[in-house]
Structure 1
Amino acid sequence: MTTKKVEIQKRSDNFRKIAREPVETSENFETEPVKALYKWWSSFQPSLPLRSDFDIAKHWGIAPNLYVVQVLGPENFLYRLNGEKVVDIVGASLRGHKITPKDPLLENRLFVTYLEKVVASRTAWHCSGAAEVFGKHYLNFESVDCPVTNENGEISFILGALSTLS
């Protein structure tokens, strides 16, 4: 079991606390979007799914909770897609935003470090914590980040699901 390191730095997005760790078991997932994406991803184990294996039409029920980050290279990512609920929770649409260590926003620099861990580990990661959504202080949230590969076996995208807890 890993010890959770919790990010508590002052941020400009809606997140206030974030704990990130590799998924050891899906038993602790509390929301359907996170469970559903992880179930799809883990069905390919011990291999990793290809990006082309993911068809959004087959996941339409959780589409508002999904986001897609493209791996452009070391410490270089592009936020390709974020569903409506992701925008609500994060506080802004990041679609089309490059994420690099030189980003002026602290939360995006922290995100680069985290995404690098997901890529290097080649495993799914679970995040949980608190967010201030629509002025409601500290709603709890969870997410899962699932790496997928290109035809050469390189991690090319990270598919994620983000949801607030009831």
Structure 2
Amino acid sequence: MISVHPAKSDEWKTYRDMRLRALLDSPDAFGSTHEAESTKTDAMWSARIAAAASSGKDRVLFAFNRDDACGLIWCKLSSDEPAVADLFQMWIDPASRGMGAGRALLNEAVSWAESVGVNRVRLGVTAGDTPAMRLYAACGFRPDGALEPLREHSHLTVQPMSLALGPVGPTD
């Protein structure tokens, strides 16, 4: 049974451990690296989650498979475009893939974005015919812009994608 809930300030260790596992498991899916993130102190991890939990502009979500944290997504209101939310750090533990955790995290992230008045949700996904790309497309995300480099010194590219929220146009 998959459930989703927002991260609380005192769950920074769960966030840290999941983020580091994600970077090891799927290094080609993220702009950051395990090498860069693993040097952060516990105080930095704690402060990151505390700031997100209290900001009102960030929403960190965990997916759980029964009692075990198995997925992560970070939602952030854009500072440049107030009607836009960006999704980052989406990852599902390999043992829980195919159980609906990714879709549950996306649904909860989009619901949060709608609840705070956002009209568009953006994300970037490593370009290719991958399970992540197929999930985002199945959830209504569409390519939105040119391919971009994943990070410096990488041959991989990222496809920006977005999902329009709310009324799309006339209904008659």
Give the shorter-chain TM-score range: under 0.3
**Greater C-alpha Rg:** 2
- Of Structure 1 and Structure 2, the greater helix share is in 2
- Of Structure 1 and Structure 2, the greater strand share is in 1
* Highest RCO, 1 vs 2 (Cα 8 Å, sep ≥ 6): 1
